[in-house]
Structure 1
């Protein structure tokens, strides 16, 4: 594995370094978000509960379910379908999570909406609650892509690595300079 020099990164600000590291690790949302937005999204996700996204944000409809169940599935509209326009949902979610929510498997690109269906239960109310729980899960899943915070030990390790790289670089430059000086004194140039 080739060694990568840290020198060009040292001249950057902490925010720029963090974004470069996030890009290197492949965090899609970090490419479009600043470090402050990522931290705000982390705090928002810590406080997130199932009722944080208002139920009025989407349209809930019921239809007949399919599959086994006998006469119940043929007579009762128990299947719940929740359709939430992306624009309405993204107003309630931090911007660092937007790209991950847009790439969710529940997003219908043609209608530009999140569509969630549930027919697990025989009751409409249970299926409606299941839809909202799945919407909550979509937001939580989007938040899992956010990179974690750097621990103090990791920050110290990076600082030591940078210091060691700088010392190695200075030592190499001095060695190279002394080699050139020895040539000058001999006249071998």
Structure 2
């Protein structure tokens, strides 16, 4: 158990794939999203809004089909989104995002893309490198526990030796 925690904490170097995925998420913005991969659909929005609601198809629905094989997202980001995203539809292997806040089609499309980018930044988490002070602290803990274990073994051994000897004085 202690060795498992020890190895995990001592992995101060992050794997290159995780490091590049983390950098990709940090640099992700609206302009880098390839809109042509999304299927865009405009529908009538529900709710109050007068007669205009019944006439204008302004609600935007963006769908990214075949998400698990989408090549413009790093594999580490895709795997986290597959596990944690509320926008992921398992039955169709797609991401579905809707926006109906505005009356304009283009602004709703932009809002849906912003939702997608913000959601990626919220969902994706990558470990940071372990600091040298933390590594030194765990190294000290490991050494002290090792010494304590050896001392306990020695005391137990001495206790058994005393039981075997016939002459106490």
TM-score, normalization by structure 1: 0.73
* More relative contact order, 1 or 2 (CA 8 Å, 6+ apart): 2
3-state SS in 1 of match to 2:26:
helix
User: Is the counterpart of residue 78 in structure 1 residue 68 in structure 2?
Assistant: no
3-state SS in 2 of match to 1:149:
coil
Q: 1:119 aligns with which of 97, 100, 107?
A: 100
CA offset digits 1:18-49 (Å, max 9, x no partner): 29x9xxxxxxxxxxxxx524333222222222
Cα distance in 2, alignment partners of residues 113 and 182 from structure 1: 72
TM-score, normalization by structure 2: 0.81
User: Is the counterpart of residue 38 in structure 1 residue 44 in structure 2?
Assistant: no
Q: Could you say which residue in structure 2 is the equivalent of 1:106? A: 87
Q: Could you say which residue in structure 1 is the equivalent of 2:163? A: 183
User: Is the counterpart of residue 62 in structure 1 residue 42 in structure 2?
Assistant: yes
3-state SS in 1 of match to 2:29:
coil
Q: Tell me by how many angstroms 1:71 deviates.
A: 2.2
Please provide the CA RMSD for this pair: 2.7
Aligned length: 163
Q: Could you say which residue in structure 1 is the equivalent of 2:33? A: 53
| Structure 1 residues without counterparts, runs of 5 or longer | 22-34
User: Is the counterpart of residue 143 in structure 1 residue 133 in structure 2?
Assistant: no
Q: Judge conservation of contact 1:57–1:89 (CA < 8 Å) in 2.
A: no
| Structure 2 residues without counterparts, runs of 5 or longer | none
Please tell me whether Structure 1 or Structure 2 has the larger radius of gyration of its CA atoms: 2
